[in-house]
Amino acid sequence: MGLTHIRLPKNFNLDERLERYADAIETNAPALAGRWAEACWPLEPQREDARAAYAEVHLDLGCGKGSFIAQCAHRKPEALYLGMDVEPICIAYAAQRACEERLRNMVLIPRGADALPQLFAAGELFAITLNFPTPYPKRHHARRRLVNVDHLLGFRQLLAPGGTVTLRTDSQPLWEYAKSQFPAAGYEMLWISDDVRAEHPEFPETEYERRLTEKGAHVYGICATPGPAPDDARIQEGRDAEQSLMRYLPDDLFSLNYVPLGMEAAVENFRNRERKGKKRIPGE
């Protein structure tokens, strides 16, 4: 979720917010690699056989304002929920939620996806959730997508046996693209859905998601788990797949009731070209 979707209150002071809710923010995250479940456990064991660690560690990568993991943390107090986001404003809002709702099993990490290898040990994560990640529709930005084959290969190393990666998005083109990337990275699909809200209502609905669906968006999703490691040829298939999300748009653009965020200008340009009898993309 980008900053364009966040309305800041008057006199918002970012530094003051980060300081006020610092108890929920981990600024020295690399020091906890391999021991998040134990290090974040809030209680001292009362006896030798008492549990002294969270049963699972879940990561919401690109957590936004933290609504999703806050709801998850309420539902499953025996699990640790980590929210990562590169935007300080998002971290401030998410940390405020964690503190005000007294969610000791919710911790925020002000880092981006590139830092993952330094933050977690192999097999440490039970699940990684990608909620409405930035789609980066242009071909030359494809490597930034969290569902790019190379990112997905990196996630494999961090997942515990049977761990999952779940994508939820309003972007049908990103979803279509991801369907080629997960298999290329050696994942087995557990489910693929073009209506996650109807088919998987167990996922908490956030305010952001509600705003999108009120505008006509569908929530598309994929849940996958690592299978056998892919060979080089299979990985290359993912890299060779069409990388421009423009190519995944439906044939009839005028039937679209909702245009994914970030693709509005491109869709309008394509519609204008079609009205003039021109090809959607020059050179096609």
Q: What is the mean pLDDT of residues 15-24?
A: 93
Q: What is the mean pLDDT of residues 159-179?
A: 97
Q: What is the mean pLDDT of residues 98-109?
A: 97
* Amino acid sitting at position 135: P
Tell me how far CA of residue 253 lies from CA of 10, 257, 259, 271, in angstroms.
Answer: 40, 9, 9, 7
pLDDT at residue number 261: 80
Q: How much is the pTM? A: 0.91
Under the banding of pLDDT at 50, 70 and 90, the label for residue 27 is: very high
Instruction: Indicate whether 44 pLDDT > 90.
Output: no
151 within 8 A of 159, measured Cβ to Cβ: no
Under the banding of pLDDT at 50, 70 and 90, the label for residue 2 is: very low
Can you tell me whether residue 72 is helix, strand or coil?
A: helix
pLDDT at residue number 176: 97
